[in-house]
Amino acid sequence: MDAASWRKNIGEMVRQYARSPQLQHYFSVRMTRERAQLMLKQLALYVRHRRDCWANVSSNCPEMAVKHKILEHEMGEVIKDKYSEHGHLDLIVRQGRAVGLSPEDILNAEPIPTTRATLYAWAWLTRSKSWIEGIAALTVTEWGNDDRLLGDLGGGHSTRMARRWMDDMGLKMKDMPNFEAHSEADEEHSDMFLPFLSRFATGEKEKLAFQAVQESLDLFAIYREGVAVAMEKLPA
């Protein structure tokens, strides 16, 4: 299957995820300062955990071209890119200031139970399964930010949540550098690993890759639902 076919098939899976009851619930929750703080701290944990997961995939992978692409991906996430001189966690720290969070609040965040469970699961998936499954599982988590794919459904996560923060809390896009960056950056990231799926995920490996995509989307739905339920426990 060529890269265009992978894009089409994974895209349909992501669109189905975007229509799921969990995502509808997540985006329906009215945002307050306290709820935004909870959401952003869980997001910081998720972002930091991605670095471990990509390292797991790289350690499992014998293909130098894939390792190079992972390093290219992680350069922007951890070191710097056009969105930040200090990596993408810095974007969350900067956005946290708009809702009263200090850098220490974000760096010392504690996971809620569903966040902890899903991060454990992603760690196991990327460490214990094949690198092809790991690539499939990780790359699809960035497709949920792709406005090209999800524009007719309200946009990707960063676009939709930025709109929620603006409507409910009166913030401006400049106050939300993480949302602003990832409404663009993850469009590029969505395409980065498709050539490797086309090249290496063939035969039985193709089925395994698609299963990993679905498992990862299921985990993301659990993660989002957990955040939604936790936010609703805070005063509206």
Higher pLDDT, 180 or 84: 180
Record the tokens describing residue 163, joined without a space: 């709109």
Q: In this model, does residue 206 exceed pLDDT 70? A: yes
**Domain containing 191 — which CATH number?**
1.20.910.10
Return the closest-CA partner of residue 42 out of 98, 112, 108, 104.
112
pLDDT in tens, 72-107: 988 877 876 666 666 778 899 999 999 999 999 999
Q: How large is the average pLDDT for residues 108-125?
A: 98
Q: What is the mean pLDDT of the chain?
A: 93
Q: Which pLDDT does position 84 carry in this prediction?
A: 62
Q: How many domains does the chain have?
A: 1
Asked whether 81 and 72 are in contact (CB, 8 A), the reply is no
Q: In this model, does residue 184 exceed pLDDT 70? A: no
Q: Which pLDDT does position 183 carry in this prediction?
A: 67
Q: In this model, does residue 13 exceed pLDDT 80? A: yes
Range of the domain at 45: 3-232
Q: Which pLDDT does position 180 carry in this prediction?
A: 85
- Which amino acid belongs to residue 226? G
Global pTM value: 0.94
**φ and ψ at 183, to 5 degrees?**
-70, -15
